[in-house]
Amino acid sequence: MSNFHIKHLEEYYQVYRKSVTNPEAFWEEIAEEHFLWRKRWNNVLKWDFSKPEVKWFEGAKLNITENCIDRHLLTRGEKTAILFEPNDPNEKAQHITYNELYKRVNKFANVLKQQGVKKGDRVCIYLPMIPELAISVLACARIGAIHSVVFAGFSATALATRINDSDCRIVITSDGSYRGKKTIDLKSIVDDALTETPNVKNVLVVKRIKSDIHMKTGRDKWLAPLLDEASDICEPEIMDAEDPLFILYTSGSTGKPKGMVHTTAGYMVYTAFSFKNAFQYTENDVYWCTADIGWITGHSYIVYGPLANGATTLMFEGAPTYPDWGRFWEIIQKHKVNQFYTAPTAIRALAKENLDFVEKYDLSSLKVLGTVGEPINEEAWHWYNDNIGKKKCPIIDTWWQTETGGIMISPIPYATPTKPTYATLPFPGIQPALMDENGNEIKENQVNGKLCIKFPWPSMARTIWGNHQRYYDTYFSAFKNNYFTGDGAFRDEVGYYRITGRVDDVIIVSGHNLGTAPIEDAINEHPAVAESAIVGFPHDIKGNALYGYVILKEIGESRNHDNLRKEINQIITEHIGPIAKLDKIQFTKGLPKTRSGKIMRRILRKIAVGEMDNLGDISTLLNPEVVEEIILKRL
Ligand code: WTA
C-alpha cells in the first residue's frame, strides 16, 4: 500500500484511518518518500490552535523549485511541463519542457536578483495567463522571495491596496493582455496603481500585445533584454520549511483583503499529495485546470501541485467564449486532455449554449472531471456528467479555500462513489467537524452545522500578513481549538459532506469570493450615496449575483436613477473590479437596523430572493417601517 497514491475505496479508508490515528507518522512517510530535502526536519508537527501556531517539518531545508523542476530533469527533461494555449486559436501552442522551464526560471530568478530582490522580499506579480506568470512565480520561489500574485482582473485601487499591504517594492506586469476579442491595457492599470504606492521602485514589463506603452524612465524595464543577458543557472536559495512561500489575498467579510501567508514545506507536500490523488494523474497525462494563477486554485493546481508530480499542466490564456462557445472542448480534443478542472459557473454558462458546440469535438481522452469554487447544482452536475464525461468520468466536487492551500473534501476518482452536489469525504489528514449553534461538535450524521477542521494539515495558511490577531479572530476564535471555515455543511447518513454555502458576509459570485463590506465602502464613496447594504441572490449562471440597497443623500434624490446606477457600478469597477458589479440596485429611504445600529442583512437577503412571507419577527427593529417600503419597491 502506498500512502501517496490511493486507488480503491478500501485503500482510502485504510489510509484515512492511519492519517488520523497517527498523523505525524503518516505525513512523515509521505515527506520522506516523495520529495527532495536538503536537510531533514527535527519535528514533523508542532501546533497550538489557541495562538494559533502551526509548524510542519520544522528544521527541514529545501527549495520548492528543486522539487518542481530540477529533480525531474534526469527522467523527464524533454517532457512538456507547461503547455501554453494562447487566446488566439491560430497562434501556436507552446510546449515548455522541464529542461526549458529550468532555464527560463533560472534566468528570471537571476534577473530578479540583479534588480536587487532578496530572500524574504515581496514581489507583486500582475500578469495575464501567459507562461511568464508561472515562470515568475517559480523564479521568486527559486531565490526565496515571497510572491504576491494579484489577479489581473483587479482594478488599480485593488492592486495598490495589495501592493502596499505587503510592501512590495517590485511589480512584474505586461504591456497588456488578450481576452477573447479584447485587449486590455494592463500597464496603464499598473501606472495608475503606482501613483498610490510610494515604495515601488521597479517594474518589469513582459511584452505580450506589442502595444506602444508609456515606460517611466528609471522605474520601468522591458523584461526580454534582461532575460537575454541573464545566466540560465541560478542556485536555489535553501529555505526553511516554515519560510513564507507566498502571500495571496482573499476577501474578508469586513475590512481590507486578507493576505494569507503560505509556507514552504507543508504546502509543497500537501499540494503534491492532493494533486496526485484528486486527479489520479499518471505519467503521460495532460492535465488542465481553467482557473487563473491569480487565485489559489491556480497556485496549487496549475503550478505547484502538478509540477511537483512532474505533470504536464496546461495554461490557457483566453476565454471559454472565444472564438465561440466550443473553445474548451476544442482544446480538450487538440491536446488530448485527460483531467479537466473548472468552476461550476463556467459549466452553467456552457450548458446554456447549443450542444453542437460540445458534440463537434472528440472528448474521449477525458478520464476525470473536477469542479471547484462554489457548490455545483444538480442540473449542472448532470450536464457535465452526461455531455462532457459521457457518464464515464468521475466528477470530483472539490471543496477547499485560499486558506486551506489544498483540496480538503473531495471524492477520489474511481475510488469514492460520487453523489451530485456532495463533496463527499475528507482527504487523508483532514479532520472535519460540524458545530452546532452553541459551539459544540455534532457527532451524528444527517445534520447541518458550521464546518470546522479540528486538526492541522500541512498546507494550511499560517497567518495573515502583518496581522496575526486578525488571523486568530477570523478563523480560531469562533470555535475553541478549531479552524472555522466560514462555510455551512450537511453530513449525510454515510458521512458524505455537502457544502451548503457561506455563513458569513462573503458572497461567492461566479466562483469569486466577495466580501460585502469592501463593496459597500466603494459605493459609499459616491457623493450622492449616504449608506448601502449588499446581499446575494441566486443567479442562473453566476451562482449568486449582488443586490444593493442604497440610501441616497438629498443631492442624489433629484438625479436620474439609471445614471446613478451606472455610476455606482463604475465606482465598484474602479475600486475592486468588474467582478463585483451589482446586478440590481434599489434606492431606499432606510435600511432595517437592530437597536444597536447593525444592518439586518438577513431581512434584506430574504427580500432580495423574494421570501417576503418569511421575514421573522421584525418588531424588534429600530425602524420596522422601512421594511414595507423596501418590499414595495423591490426589483
Ligand atoms: C466555496 C477556492 C461548495 C466555499 C478554492 C469556500 C465551495 C470558498 C467549493 C473558498 C465546493 C469552494 N463546493 N463551495 N466544491 N469550493 N467553495 O478561497 O464557500 O476562492 O469557503 O478558494 O469557496 O473560495 P476560495
Helix 9-21 × helix 23-34 angle, to 10° = 110
Say what the pLDDT of residue 34 is.
96
Residue 612 lies in a domain: yes
The secondary structure element, H or E, covering residue 309 is: none
401 ligand 1 Cβ < 6 A:
yes
Ligand 1 centre to CA of 426 (Å) is 14
Ligand 1 centre to CA of 503 (Å) is 12
250 ligand 1 Cβ < 6 A:
yes
- Closest atom of ligand 1 to 250 CA is 18
Ligand 1 atom 23 nearest Cα: 373
1 pLDDT band, cuts 50/70/90, is: very low
pLDDT at 255 over 80: no
Residue 436 lies in a domain: yes
Same domain, 452 and 540: no
Cα–Cα dist 518/161, whole Å: 12
Burial 424-454 (b: 16+ CB within 10 A, else e): bbbbbbbbbbbbeeeeeeeeeeeeebbbbbe
The answer to whether residues 406 and 278 touch, using CB atoms and an 8 Å cutoff, is no
Same domain, 46 and 84: yes
Same domain, 471 and 619: no
292 ligand 1 Cβ < 6 A:
no
Say what the pLDDT of residue 230 is.
98
Judging by DSSP bridges, how do beta strands 220-222 and 202-206 pair with one another?
Answer: parallel
510 ligand 1 Cβ < 6 A:
no
Share of the chain above pLDDT 90, in %: 89
Structural domain including 104 reads 2-118+238-319+398-489
The answer to whether residues 69 and 138 touch, using CB atoms and an 8 Å cutoff, is yes
Residue 101 lies in a domain: yes
Return the number of other C-beta atoms located less than 10 Å from residue 107's C-beta.
Answer: 22
Same domain, 566 and 523: yes
pLDDT (tens digit per residue) in 125-155: 999 999 999 999 999 999 999 999 999 999 9
Return the number of other C-beta atoms located less than 10 Å from residue 502's C-beta.
Answer: 18
- Closest atom of ligand 1 to 506 CA is 19
**DSSP annotation of 299:** I
Residue 301 lies in a domain: yes
Residue 481 lies in a domain: yes
Mutate to test the pocket of ligand 1, among 487, 490, 498, 544 (most ligand atoms within 8 A of CB): 487
Cα–Cα dist 449/537, whole Å: 22
The answer to whether residues 623 and 589 touch, using CB atoms and an 8 Å cutoff, is no
pLDDT (tens digit per residue) in 169-223: 999 999 999 999 999 999 999 999 999 999 999 999 999 998 889 999 999 999 9
Say what the pLDDT of residue 2 is.
63
pLDDT (tens digit per residue) in 396-454: 999 999 999 999 999 999 999 999 999 999 999 999 999 998 999 999 999 999 999 99
Say what the pLDDT of residue 521 is.
87
Cα–Cα dist 85/133, whole Å: 14
Residue 146 lies in a domain: no
Question: How far is the first Cα of the chain from the last one, in angstroms, to the nearest whole number?
Answer: 59
pLDDT at 504 over 90: no
pLDDT (tens digit per residue) in 270-317: 999 999 999 999 999 999 999 999 999 999 999 999 999 999 999 999
Mutate to test the pocket of ligand 1, among 404, 508, 514, 579 (most ligand atoms within 8 A of CB): 508
Ligand 1 centre to CA of 406 (Å) is 11
Same domain, 102 and 8: yes
Same domain, 6 and 70: yes
Ligand 1 centre to CA of 300 (Å) is 14
Q: What mean pLDDT comes out for the span 34-58? A: 98
Same domain, 524 and 451: no
Residue matched to cell numbers 455551512:
488
237 ligand 1 Cβ < 6 A:
no
402 ligand 1 Cβ < 6 A:
yes
- The total of structural domains in the chain comes to 2
- Closest atom of ligand 1 to 512 CA is 20
Q: The CATH number of the domain where 427 resides is what?
A: 3.40.50.12780
Candidates 257, 297, 251; CA nearest to 278 is 297
117 ligand 1 Cβ < 6 A:
no
Say what the pLDDT of residue 600 is.
86
Q: The pTM is what?
A: 0.93
The three-state DSSP-derived secondary structure of 25-87 is HHHHHHHHHHCCCCECCCEEEEEECCCCEEEEEECCEECHHHHHCHHHHHHHCCCEEEEEECC
Ligand 1 centre to CA of 299 (Å) is 15
Residue 179 lies in a domain: no
Same domain, 310 and 419: yes
Question: Range with the lowest mean pLDDT among 138-152, 251-265, 477-491?
Answer: 251-265
Same domain, 520 and 605: yes
